[in-house]
Structure 1
Amino acid sequence: MADETQLMFSQEEQTVSKQSKVLCQLSAEEISKIVVDLVRYLLIMSQKKLPIKRSDINKTVLGDKSRGFDHFIEMAKERLSLVFGMELIELELNSKSYILLSEFQDHPYLNCYSAGKTECSLLMIILSFIFMNGNVISDNQLYDCLRRIGIDIEFHHEVFGDVENKLKKDYVRQGYVEYSRVVGAEPVQHEFKWGLRARKELSKLKVLDFVAKIYGEEDPSNWTSQWEQANAENAPNES
């Protein structure tokens, strides 16, 4: 029994060592891209309502980085939950097959009432980009930011649907976002700001906490200017 236990720990140590070696060879930007690609793949495959096999993930997404699977899948799980309101679960222990489920509980940062966590997550992403860009962001800048995390407003999204319609119509009508033309700009430009409802309902400290989790930062105060602004403001929802 002791020999079996020792062998088990030895195998685990070897696995961790191999993963660490893979990760050490990658930059933070490369790791982030792999996670974005992995999340996009999981979202697309989930539409088929069939189990997603680890072997397919390795073949299609990770390739020669497959030794870092456990690390990448954990990062993808966190982003799927936080950003998309989805939960990735393994069908059975060591089955190496996964399914993606919607999480219907309330969003931890924003009260969207009956809209659901997924809808709130998209809104939270957009409001975060606006705040982190200095409380105003051009339409093209915002679209670029969204594309970097796998959301292209020109295409129907697997989870969020018609993002452009939500952004320019639904969220504007609900008072979460202000969308206006930049006066005097040539060619014509538009910009986004927080709407009145967002300013009343959402604490910017919570936005920083949300952003920190997405980027794997432990300390939101690393974004100095946003941290100072968030603390200086009297946020209604701050507890």
Structure 2
Amino acid sequence: MSELRKAAEDLQDPRDSRGLMDVQQMEAEREGGASPWSSSSSVSSSYSACAVSLLHDAAPSMVTDLVGFLLLKYHRKQPTTRAEMLSIFLREYQDHFPAVFSQASEYMQLVFGVDVKEVDPGGHWYVLVPTLGLTCDGMLGDGQSMPKNGLLVMLLCMIHLEGERLPEEEVWGALSKLGLRAGREHFIYGEPRELITKVWVQEGYLEYRQVANSDPARFEFLWGPRAHAEISNLQVLEHLHRASRRGPSSFPSLSDEAASDEEEEA
């Protein structure tokens, strides 16, 4: 376990190091949880179900290797092509590429907060960019750690779905399902309390404040000014649609709200 975890943290080339996502799966199963992607609403329950499937289904080695390769490309800020991926991973299994690539892309988005975007359909060129158009890369400036934006995107979506503010106890209840606990290092996300109450607060993505007139003191999370500046309601809705594999009609109230907000901004 420790050797696999070190390989994942070092972002080694997948041709030299295997099992990136298997490590995460084993970590989640060891903690006996399902996924942090949950809240009290039916919409977030659907989103949770998608993440549970991604994090707990055994990923074929081709998928885990491709995820490691895509992480390396993201770390180096390099694009890639379908031809490059096929030449490295799937020379003899080209018919499997669409399914493998699709699953790897879902891991990248939900776990690491990285979108794999096709920028040249003719040449099948892809770039790797932060989900929701965030301007931070999620690696916290050290250049070595794995991107942590998957956790940030999850929190921002939970806050949005719960009416723009989320009690701290609900946050920790959700995070505990992935083995994320205050004071305990996670091999992808690090120490979560420092990350969500200080780092992302200082970066302006989250606001962490005491609930008015609460005694004993209770705290809650809201979107920070940088999140409001970079993300629209429509982007959140579209992200939830992709994650849950449902269309806009499945979330009529959210769809109407987002459309109304976009019209006002226009």
Q: TM above 0.5, one fold?
A: yes
Unmatched tracts of structure 2, length 5 or more? 1-45, 69-98, 115-125, 140-145
Structure 1's 86 and 31: CA in aligned 2 closer, same or farther, altered over 3 A?
closer
Among 150, 169, 173, which residue is 1:121 paired with? 150
Among 110, 120, 144, which residue is 1:83 paired with? 110
How far is the alpha carbon of 1:151 from its aligned partner? 5.2
Which residue number corresponds to residue 187 of structure 1? 216
Residue 130 of structure 1 aligns with an amino acid whose one-letter code is: I
Mapping 1:1-239, distance limit 5 Å: 33=52, 35-38=54-57, 77-85=104-112, 105-116=128-139, 118-148=147-177, 150=178, 152-154=180-182, 155-215=184-244, 217-234=245-262
Structure 1's 163 and 110: CA in aligned 2 closer, same or farther, altered over 3 A?
farther
How far is the alpha carbon of 1:128 from its aligned partner? 0.7
Q: Is the 8 A contact 1:112 1:120 kept in 2?
A: no
Residue 159 of structure 2 aligns with an amino acid whose one-letter code is: I
Task: Tell me the distance in 1 between the aligned counterparts of 2:58 and 2:204.
Answer: 30
How far is the alpha carbon of 1:221 from its aligned partner? 4.3
How far is the alpha carbon of 1:205 from its aligned partner? 1.1
How far is the alpha carbon of 1:36 from its aligned partner? 3.3
Q: Is the 8 A contact 2:113 2:148 kept in 1?
A: no
Q: Structure 1 length as normaliser, TM-score?
A: 0.56
Task: Tell me the distance in 2 between the aligned counterparts of 1:214 and 1:78.
Answer: 11
How far is the alpha carbon of 1:78 from its aligned partner? 4.7
Give the aligned CA root-mean-square deviation in angstroms. 3.9
Unmatched tracts of structure 1, length 5 or more? 1-27, 50-71, 88-102
Structure 1's 226 and 34: CA in aligned 2 closer, same or farther, altered over 3 A?
closer
Task: Tell me the distance in 2 between the aligned counterparts of 1:39 and 1:153.
Answer: 24
Structure ranking higher on relative contact order (CA contacts 8 Å, 6+ apart): 2
**Which of 74-83 and 182-191 deviates more?**
74-83
Q: Is the 8 A contact 2:168 2:219 kept in 1?
A: yes
Q: Is the 8 A contact 2:234 2:258 kept in 1?
A: yes
Query: Equivalent residue of 2:207, what SS?
Result: strand
Which of the two has higher C-alpha Rg?
1
Structure 1's 165 and 38: CA in aligned 2 closer, same or farther, altered over 3 A?
farther
Which residue number corresponds to residue 86 of structure 2? none
1:15-40 CA distances to partner (integer Å, 9 max, x unpaired)? xxxxxxxxxxxxx8888645433479
How far is the alpha carbon of 1:83 from its aligned partner? 1.7
Task: Tell me the distance in 2 between the aligned counterparts of 1:113 and 1:194.
Answer: 15
Q: How many residues align?
A: 167
**Which of 190-199 and 222-231 deviates more?**
222-231
Q: Is the 8 A contact 1:177 1:192 kept in 2?
A: yes
Q: Structure 2 length as normaliser, TM-score?
A: 0.51
Query: Equivalent residue of 1:233, what SS?
Result: helix
Structure 1's 83 and 188: CA in aligned 2 closer, same or farther, altered over 3 A?
same
